[in-house]
């Protein structure tokens, strides 16, 4: 009985450690279309990337290419590109190329860059202290 308990405990601990490490190196972006104000949310890692196109609808990318400060995410079906993101990690400027729609310009920022932009707007006087704290709290809670 002790052996079974030990084996089960070891099995559970190994799986918990694997779960915690599986998403440890992921980064994320909140993206917004500059013209239409549509939003998307991208999560990526070394060998994993997905985009939340609308609430609870995710598109997974098969190719993840990181060159210098540029991230390219490509979703493929039947050897054809369905959707491709080209994101400059420094500036946040992004280009989305969907299969049937025209190319569009986006701005993709991680939480750190979004906080910097909020701080800049507050210091410039575009946001009140209350608005700054409210947006900051909303950003940090997501």
**Residues 71-93: pLDDT tens digits?**
899 999 988 999 999 998 878 89
Q: What is the pLDDT of residue 22?
A: 43
In 10 A of CB 51, how many CB atoms?
A: 21
Identify the residue whose tokens are 């575009």. Answer: 126
Whether residue 112 has pLDDT greater than 60:
yes
Beta bridge partners of residue 96, listed in sequence order: 85, 104
Q: What is the pLDDT of residue 64?
A: 92
Q: What 3-state class would DSSP assign to 123?
A: helix
Q: What is the pLDDT of residue 114?
A: 73
**Helical H segments across the chain, by residue range:** 2-22, 111-124, 129-141
What confidence tier does 33 reach under pLDDT thresholds 50, 70, 90?
very high
Q: What is the pLDDT of residue 14?
A: 53
93-109 average pLDDT score: 92
48-60 average pLDDT score: 88
Q: What is the DSSP string of 85-113?
A: EEEETTT-EEEEEESSS--EEEEEE-HHH
Whether residue 18 has pLDDT greater than 50:
no
Q: What is the pLDDT of residue 17?
A: 44
């Amino acid at each position: 009985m002790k052996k079974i308990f030990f084996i089960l405990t070891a099995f559970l601990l190994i799986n918990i450690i694997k779960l915690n490490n599986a998403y440890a190196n992921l980064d994320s972006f909140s993206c917004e279309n500059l013209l239409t104000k549509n939003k998307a949310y991208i999560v990526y890692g070394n060998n994993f990337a997905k985009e939340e196109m609308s609430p609870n609808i995710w598109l997974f990318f098969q190719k993840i290419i990181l060159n210098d400060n540029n991230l390219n995410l490509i979703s493929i079906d039947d050897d054809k590109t369905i959707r491709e993101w080209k994101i400059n990690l420094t500036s946040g400027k992004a280009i989305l190329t969907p299969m049937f729609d025209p190319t569009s310009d986006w701005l993709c920022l991680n939480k750190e860059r979004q906080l910097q932009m909020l701080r800049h707007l507050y210091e410039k006087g575009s946001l009140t202290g209350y608005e700054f704290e409210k947006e900051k709290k909303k950003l940090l809670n997501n």
